[in-house]
Amino acid sequence: MHSKVIIVGSGPAGHTAAIYAARANLEPVMFEGMMAGGVAPGGQLTTTTEVENFPGFPEGITGSELTDKYREQSTRFGTKIETETIAKVDLSSRPFKLWREDAEDQDPDTCDTLIVATGATAKRLHIKGEDEYWQRGMSACAVCDGAAPLFRNKPLVVIGGGDSACEEATFLTKYASHVYIAVRRDVFRASNIMAKRAANHPKITVLWNTHVTEAKGNGKVLTQVELKDAKTGATRDLDVSGLFYAIGHTPNTAFLGGQLDTDETGYLVVQPGTSKTKIPGVFAAGDVQDKHYRQAITAAGSGCMAALDAEKYLEELEAEAQESGSKL
C-alpha cells in the first residue's frame, strides 16, 4: 500500500497531524499501534484519568474519552487507521518503506512523507500493587493529574532524584498537604538550584536512601506505600494518597533503527521551529521530540506543524516533478 502521508503514532500529535493532513486531501494513513510502547492506541493520555487542562472541556474529560474524540475526528475527515504496529522502516530513499509487526518478511507499506508521532513512555518500577492502583492514586505525570480531587490536601510521594522529581514535587505542593520525595541514594541527581528549592520547601520532606517497594490501598484507591531503607533493609508504611513516578521517559524510536538523529537521551532532533528531521520528507511531532513540556496541548500543536510541513514538502515535490515532466 502506498500513501502520500503515513503517520506512526496515535496520541494528540498523531491525530492532529491526521486531521490537518486529511482536510488537505492528502488521504493520510495512521498506524496507531497495538500496545506499542506498552500503552494502548491513543498513547500516554489513555493512562490518565481526568484531563482538566485541555481547552474546550471546562468540566474536564477522561484521557480515554479525549483520545476517542481525536480518533472520531480523524476518521471523519478521511484518515485511514490501521490498528497495527510498525516494526521497522527504511528511510534511505523515497518512497519510504515501513514493515508491520509480524510481517517483516512481506512487502512493505510505502509513503512519500512520514510523520513520526510515537511519543515517549513514562518509566515505571512496576512495584507490588501497581497494577491494582495505577490511575487510582498512581501516576507518572504530576502536571497532568496533580490537581485532581483525589490528591488535593492529601500527602503525596514522588519517586525520583533528578530535576523532574524536584520540579514535580514542587508543583504538587500547590495542591497536596505534604509531599515526600523518595530518593534511592543519599544525594539528588538534580541541578543544585532545583535540589535546593525542593529540599528547602516547607511542604517537602526528602526521604534519602529510600525505595518504594509496594503500593497499598483499600481496594479502591491508594492509601499507603511501603518504604525500604536502602542501607538497613528496614521497611515501614507511609500514609499517602498519591504516588507519582518522576524517573524519566523512554522515547519510542527503536523501530527507526537509528536512521534519525537523536539527542543524548534518545529524543528525535528536529530543526528549530519546525518538525523537520535530518531526512527530507520525514517529520517528528509530539513527545518523541519533546523532552521538556510533554503535554497533550503542545503535542497537538506540533502535530499541526508536522502536517503543514508535510503538505508543503509534497507541494514542492509536485512542482519539481512537473518541471521535470514527470509526475509524483
Q: Which residues are catalytic?
A: 141, 144-145
Spell out the residues 6+ positions from residue 133 whose beta carbon is closer than 8 angstroms to its own: 215, 217, 221, 222, 243
DSSP strand pairing (96-100 vs 86-90): antiparallel
Q: Which 3 state secondary structure label does DSSP give 123?
A: coil
195-204 long-range contacts, Cβ below 8 Å, gap at least 24? 195/166, 197/166, 197/170, 198/165, 198/166, 198/169, 198/170, 201/169, 201/170, 201/173, 203/173, 203/176, 203/177, 203/178, 203/179, 204/169, 204/170, 204/173, 204/178, 204/179, 204/180
CA distance 204 to 122: 23
78: CB partners within 8 A, 6+ apart: 22, 27
Q: Find the Cα–Cα–Cα–Cα dihedral 239, 244, 248, 249, rounded to 10°.
A: 140
Q: What share of the chain is helix, strand, coil (3-state, %, to 5)?
A: 30, 25, 40
Question: Using alpha carbons only, how large is the chain's radius of gyration in Å?
Answer: 22
Q: Are strands 29-31 and 2-8 parallel, antiparallel or unpaired?
A: parallel
**Burial (CB count <10 Å: 0-12, 13-18, 19+), residue 11:** buried
